[in-house]
Amino acid sequence: MIDFLNYLINGALVGLLYALIAMGFVVIYRASKVFNIAQGELVVFGGFMVWWMIVQAGLPMAVGIPLAFVAAIAFGLAIEKIFFSRLVGESVFSMVMVTIGLLILIRGLVLVLFGPAVRPFPIIFPLKPIILGDILIPRSLLFGGLITIATGLGLSWFFNATRTGLRMTAVAEDHQVALSLGISVKRSIAFAWALGATLSTLGAIIFLSGKSLNFLASDIGLAALPVALLAGFESIAGVLLAGLIVGIVQGLVTAYVDPAVGGAVGSVFPFLIMLAILFIRPTGMFGWKTIERV
Amino acid sequence: MLELNNVEVLYSDVILAVKGVSLKASQGACVTLLGANGAGKSTTLKSISNILTTEDGRVTQGSITFEGARIEGGDPADIVRRGIVHVLEGRRVLRHLTVEQNLLIGGHMEKSGQAVRRRLDEIYTRIARLAELRKRTTGYLSGGEQQMVVIGRAMMSRPKLIMIDEPSLGLAPLMVEEVFNVLRSLKNEGVTLLIVEQNTRVALGLADYGYVMESGRIVLEGAASDLMSNEDVREFYLGLNLEGERKSYRDIKHYRRRKRWLG
Ligand SMILES: Nc1ncnc2c1ncn2[C@@H]1O[C@H](COP(=O)(O)OP(=O)(O)OP(=O)(O)O)[C@@H](O)[C@H]1O
Ligand SMILES: [Mg+2]
């Protein structure tokens, strides 16, 4: 029973981490309709920025972390400007091709700048786990989970109730209508990329705190993909819930099924969920169904 | 107030959809632009709001002047800021958002959140139906309700000129009347209106002046009352001729139509 609780809680927290990464993905997709396959590379880039500021440059965290965010945001804006600003309204296919190119490019850039070596990531959250009776919870995941929930609810409110957020939601729904109301679609998309890069960096900090970092950390972006799909691509609050579901299922399958079959079913399970969703309900659980009224 | 001079619009560098249109709407006037499918009415409006860019179109010739300033090819946001708002064809509500969210987005240029709220209350008093529907998701509203939402949303930006594209399309007669009542109240208030319609009768009932478009050109213009009694308009757009039978517009040779209109 205690074991079960342990798996459940840790699964949920890992799921929330996926949700945070997926949020970056969703924010970019909503505004620009770019299905950013390179989301994991943004996490790696953000991670390396944090590593560079704190470990290489030796800055204190209070300075280094904000600077890393600034650098990541600049990077996100640059990507948007260089690769996507001219592609607004192009087909999904060409956008996907560009994001694949982007993935390879960022990976190459990271290798050139920081090399393939494994680097120690600074300890942002204390390593000592929180112990509740017999349950053991890593601090980074717990704090990360709380940050993710707060971020998700905050973003949800932002997109539904603030003026800037509503502008972005209008852009998410219909570029032409947004333009006809005098909303700058370009600015909204740029803002989305900045936000996406911020969320990725936040994800990197929670994911990597006290661990090691190299270019392979981008795999977390892949793990977040099923979460975004399960949620549907538009609902931020839905991403939280989808993250919890994927994380818990993955945790329990890893704990109980993997030993029985002697394989890594747990790690592929999210992708099985993803395929199932694609077959059953491509708009996800909370995504915008195309409302049909004739 | 608004003046188009010999405007040409080209889509994708090959399709000439508007071929030298000149029209005018003076301060406080209600002008209607009539014409059959594909005549280029929507394109003309898009050239003014300059949302042509999203469709790979552009103004290749002529000028568009609003309150003395040239606006052709300008930034759509700047055009809205100057006081022109374009209500697109087909009741384009933001379907997943509520009525209130749609309206708030329409007022996004107000200086403060409070100013938006004040404007929102004004709109609710003006169009009481919207107040009743404020929490409803617009995608599930009836066509008439959606048309009210997009008009209200356009009004949120306190425009001097509202361009509206086929507001009566697909609405029941009673609903058409309700929509045009709102437009009439705007007109009475001094807002300049440019209405694109296929429902000629209703449009000429409200407008002061009308233009008739055909294959990208203005082929006829005049005071609304004159157009209403014009034999051609009666025949082709009001569906009446002297024998009282409906005749297809296409039945008559093009050169003859031209000749009669030009004559
Ligand atoms: N995005 C576009 N790309 C290419 N051609 C277009 C585009 N939009 C419109 N056209 C063409 O331009 C012409 C005028 O179209 P427009 O939509 O302005 O007509 P309309 O008078 O509004 O017609 P309707 O009454 O059917 O709405 C048509 O021949 C149409 O095929
Ligand atoms: Mg049209």
Cβ(A239)–Cβ(A228) below 8 Å = yes
Q: Which residues of A touch B78 (CB under 8 A)?
A: 182
Which residue on chain A is closest to B94 by alpha carbon? A173
Residue with the larger pLDDT of the pair A41 and A293: A41
Best to test chain B binding among A179, A185, A191 (most B CBs inside 10 Å):
A179
- CA–CA separation, A215 vs A293, rounded Å? 47
Q: How much is the pLDDT for A276?
A: 81
Label residues B247-263 b or e (16+ Cβ within 10 Å = b): eeeeeeeeeebeeebee
* B35 CA distance to ligand 2 middle (Å): 9
What is the pLDDT at residue A178? 96
Reported as a pLDDT band with limits 50, 70 and 90, residue A91 is: confident
In chain B, residues under CATH classification 3.40.50.300 are 2-94+157-223
Residue with tokens 């429902």: B199
Highest mean pLDDT among A117-121, A249-253, B154-158, B171-175: B154-158
Angstrom distance (rounded) from CA B125 to CA A90 = 42
Q: Which of B15, B16, B198 to mutate to test the pocket of ligand 1 (most atoms within 8 A of CB)?
A: B15
> Tell me, what amino acid is at A187?
R
**Chain A, nearest residue to B170 by Cα:** A294
* Any B CB within 8 A of A293 CB: yes
Show the tokens assigned to B85: 């708002």
CA B72 – ligand 1 centroid, Å: 19
pLDDT at B236: 67
Residue B11 Cβ inside 6 Å of ligand 1? The answer reads: yes
Q: 3-state SS string over B175-197?
A: HHHHHHHHHHHHHHCCCEEEEEE
Task: Evaluate: CB of B41 within 6 angstroms of ligand 1.
Answer: yes
CB-CB neighbours of A138 under 10 Å: 19
From CA B191, how far away is CA B162, in angstroms rounded?
A: 7
Given a contact cutoff of 8 angstroms between Cβ atoms, the answer to whether B132 and B148 are in contact is no
| DSSP β-bridge partners for residue B35 | B213
Average pLDDT over residues B238-259: 47
Which residue in B2, B3, B63, B10 sits closest to B216, CA to CA?
B10
Q: Is the CB of B55 under 6 A from ligand 1?
A: yes
Give the contacts of A197 (CB within 8 A, at least 6 positions apart).
Answer: A24, A42, A45, A46, A72, A73, A75, A76, A77
- Residue A114, pLDDT > 60, answer yes
DSSP state for residue A122 in the 8-state scheme: P
Please determine, for the modelled complex, whether the ipTM score is greater than 0.85: yes
- Ligand 1: atom nearest CA of B196 is 22
Nearest partner of A82 among A102, A109, A56, judged by Cα: A102
Q: What is the pLDDT of residues A59-68, one digit of tens each?
A: 999 999 999 9
Which of A160, A181, A234 lies at the smallest CB-CB distance from B106?
A: A181
Spatial separation of the C-alpha atoms in residues A150 and A206, rounded to whole Å: 14
Residue to probe by mutation, ligand 1, list B42, B45, B48, B51, most atoms within 8 Å of CB: B42
B252 band by pLDDT with thresholds 50, 70 and 90? very low
Judge whether B108 and B71 are in contact, CB under 8 Å: no
**Pseudo-torsion of CA B63, B65, B70, B71, nearest 10°?**
-90
Q: Which residues pair with B23 in a beta bridge?
A: B4
CA distance readout (Å), A102 to A30, A32, A34, A42, A138: 19, 16, 12, 10, 33
User: A184 and B109: CB-CB below 8 Å?
Assistant: no
Length of chain B: 263
Q: What is the CA radius of gyration of chain B?
A: 19
d(CA B252, CA B53): 36
Predicted pLDDT of residue A268: 82
Q: Provide CATH code, domain B2-94+157-223.
A: 3.40.50.300
Structure letter (DSSP) for residue B246: -
Structural tokens at position B174: 């009673």
**Mutation pick for ligand 1 pocket among B4, B11, B166 (CB with most ligand atoms within 8 Å):** B11
- Structure tokens belonging to residue B213: 């478009």
Residue A15: name the closest of A3, A7, A25 by CA: A7
Q: State how far the Cα of B256 lies from the Cα of A207, in Å rounded to an integer.
A: 76
Task: Tell me whether residues A173 and B96 touch, CB distance under 8 A.
Answer: yes
Q: Any CB–CB contact under 8 A between A157 and chain B?
A: no
> Between vectors from CA B229 to CA B238 and to CA B214, what angle results, nearest 5°?
55
Show the tokens assigned to B159.
């425009």
Residue B120: strand, helix, or coil: helix
Query: A with B: how many residue pairs have Cβ under 8 Å apart?
Result: 82
CA distance linking residue B104 with residue B120, whole number of Å:
7
For A231-287, what is each residue's pLDDT tens digit?
Answer: 887 788 889 999 999 999 988 988 888 888 877 777 788 788 878 877 877 777 666
Nearest-CA distance A110 → chain B (Å): 35
User: What does the DSSP 8-state code read for residue B70?
Assistant: E
The per-residue pLDDT of chain B, averaged, comes to 88
